[in-house]
Amino acid sequence: MKMSQEAPQQMPESQDSQAVAQMETMLRQEGRSRVAGNTLAFLKDHAPFNKMTLEARQLFAEKAQIVFYPTGNEIVGPDSGNVRFFYLIESGKVQARQAGEVTVTEYSILSLGAGESFPIGAVTAGRPSTNTYTAVEDTFCYQLPADDFMTLMSSSPEFNLFCTKYIASLLDQSRRQLQLQFAQKASEQQTLNSPLVGIGSRSPISVPPDTPLRKALETMSEASVGSLVIAGEDRKPVGVFTRSDLLDRVVLADLPLTSPVSMAMSADPFRLEEHATAYDAMLAMASQGIRHVLVTDAEGKLTGVVSERDLFALQRVGLRQIRQAIESADNVEALQQSAADVRQLSFNMLAQGVGAEQLTQFISALNDALTRRVIQLNLENHNFDGIEWAWLAFGSEGRDEQTFSTDQDNGIVFASPDSAAVDTLRQRFLAFALDVNNGLDRCGFPLCKGNIMASNPQWCLSLNEWKNQFANWIRMPQTDALLNATIFFDFRPLFGKAELAESMRRHLLEQAASNPMFLRAMARNALDVEPPLGKIRDFLTDLEPDHPGKIDLKKYGSRIFVDVARIYALAAGVHNTNSVQRLRIASQRLSIKSDEINAVLEGLDFIQLLRLQHQYLEGEPGTQGDNLINPDKLNELDRRILKESFRQARKIQTRLRLDYQVN
């Protein structure tokens, strides 16, 4: 009985347990529902969630958990490993502090409050945070897992735009850092307090005192200089021989050319030691009426020459002066200095914050003017009266995208009413083009290693020959044809009959529009090179065997954007050749969202800025800089933005792959 009496007493306990469990489940569900409801209410009051759809906010509310962090607790930092959550502050205050000594952003400490989120860049990139985030008050944060964050990014345009604008703001910060760096260097280079050791020619042309006048004049001619330093075997200068000396002391004095140059030189030239300043040299020129100052080391040995022109270059080089100098130049030697002035002015513009798109167009415009002047000077020796022709620029100059490092890519198109006269005309143009190519080479535009120049018979063609060439490449898109298309389809007329180039362009666009298989072949070719993004490491730095640890920013960066822009321009019938303009116009005609294109253009702009920075700051004076950067030497902010820029390149490639069904 006792047992039987006890048994009924146990039944209510079991029922009670079940009821309690059911009640707890209901309470948890009700709690989750209440939390989700509170989360939705919170999201409605804060950007960008207040602009997102209800479904997107519900996704956040369902996947996010609210977590408490007492005052002083670290939430996430560089030592936490790859960021696993996107954090949104519900209440309290969080302090973001830069880790280490590297300046990552424009701030070192930043306070975040309710409605603000972090660390967007790190969770997007799947890497550790570069900042340490600490609760400086008792703080509640919503934690959204990284996978759900990426899902929300892909499903909510508003949230994606918010994160994209965040990246854009980092781009702006990086640009300001670059500009500050350039401004500091520009300030150093433009001050009259600069020591002479870094100014003027560091390899002055000199001859011994007993050199015959004829030999001295030949040396001046070969080196294209207007003066010689006369120095003994000990490299100590004893005189200067200039063109003025040639007139006054040789020609008018009827001095035999077999005489030693010491008989015609200006003896005991003014000299300053290397530690003297540009101001000292300028004062000497003004007070003594001289145009050159010799620079010596502490032992009196010749190390350089500073001219009036060198001191002028220290000051802010003006656009008007450069254009006037180019247009009035009466020989290639004068244009050599103008080419150097273009580079200096472009550098100054970087220091003033001019963007990469505007700067590359500016460099191209001045180089166009210089090229036209070289053409005009050579036309004095070649007569093409009555013949319609045009000088064409290809490649980066054809796109208005020249950087500090550029060689020649050019050609000629001419009209010939008589097909029998084409070859005769071509020979005349080839002789002219050779003179122009050599003149441009002397002005700092090296001859093209691939011989893509107007002096090559392959690229000095009649209008009909150019049209046939384009048509053949499009009809039979073999490897060579596709390679040629990436170069020759980006052309502009720089001199002569522009209508000939426009006729070529209309023909090109008509042919491309009628041959979609060609565009697909170009798309496949453009996808052969991918951005150097690693799955484990940030960047792949083993793609250039001859340059381990470095990335070619042209080959694996800007080229990707340029190739995609060219294909979309051909598909949409865009006449422009500039890559930025091509993408902007083509995106409108092909219904690509402006936000998507803007993010792509920001990526291209940053890569171009890095190229300009590297070419100028890392290149040796008077040499062509390269495009090879070591990402490990970039500051953390630039690494982050470079990685995002490569992601934008991958995104536009993904769109191209889908549009043309390329596997």
pTM: 0.61
Task: Tell me where in the chain the CATH 3.10.580.10 domain(s) lie.
Answer: 196-314
Q: What is the pLDDT of residues 291-332, one digit of tens each?
A: 889 999 989 999 999 887 777 666 545 566 777 888 888 898
Confidence category of residue 592, pLDDT binned at 50, 70, 90: confident
Residue 115: name the closest of 139, 132, 134 by CA: 139
pLDDT of res. 609: 86
Q: Does residue 634 register a pLDDT over 90? A: no
How far is C-alpha 145 from the chain's CA centre?
36
Query: Does residue 191 register a pLDDT over 50?
Result: yes
Q: Are 550 and 628 in contact (CB under 8 A)?
A: yes
Cis peptide before 119 (omega within 30 of 0): yes
Sheet architecture: strand order including 460-462: 460-462, 410-414, 389-393, 492-496
When pLDDT is cut at 50, 70 and 90, the band that residue 175 belongs to is low
Burial class of residue 394, CB neighbours in 10 A (0-12, 13-18, 19+): buried
Q: Tell me: the pLDDT tens digits for 325-373? A: 888 888 988 898 888 888 777 777 776 666 777 778 778 888 888 999 9
pLDDT tier for residue 94 given thresholds of 50, 70 and 90: very high
Q: CATH 1.20.120 region(s) of the chain?
A: 515-663
CATH code, 196-314: 3.10.580.10
The end-to-end CA distance of the chain, in Å, is 81
Numbered ranges of CATH 2.60.120.10 in the chain? 49-174
Q: What is the pLDDT of residue 359?
A: 79
Alpha carbon distances (Å) from 323 to 261, 365, 375: 37, 11, 16
For the CA atoms of 362, 367, 368, 371, the dihedral, rounded to the nearest 10 degrees, stands at: 170
49-174 is classed CATH 2.60.120.10: yes
What architecture is domain 515-663? Answer: Up-down Bundle (1.20)
Supply the mean pLDDT for the chain: 84
Of all residues in the chain, the percent with pLDDT exceeding 90 is 50
Rounded Cα gap, residues 202 and 192, in angstroms: 18
Model confidence at 489: pLDDT above 90: yes
Q: pLDDT class for 503, splitting at 50, 70, 90?
A: very high
C-alpha distances out from residue 570 to 500, 510, 561, 578, 598, Å: 19, 9, 14, 13, 20
Kindly compute the dihedral angle of the four CA atoms of residues 359, 360, 364, 370, in this order, to the nearest 10 degrees. 50
Q: Which residues contact 586 (CB under 8 A, 6 or more apart)?
A: 565, 568, 569, 571, 572, 574, 592
CA distance 454 to 43: 63
Phi then psi for residue 230, to 5 deg, are: -100, 115
Look at residues 91, 94, 90 and name the one whose alpha carbon lies nearest to residue 40.
90
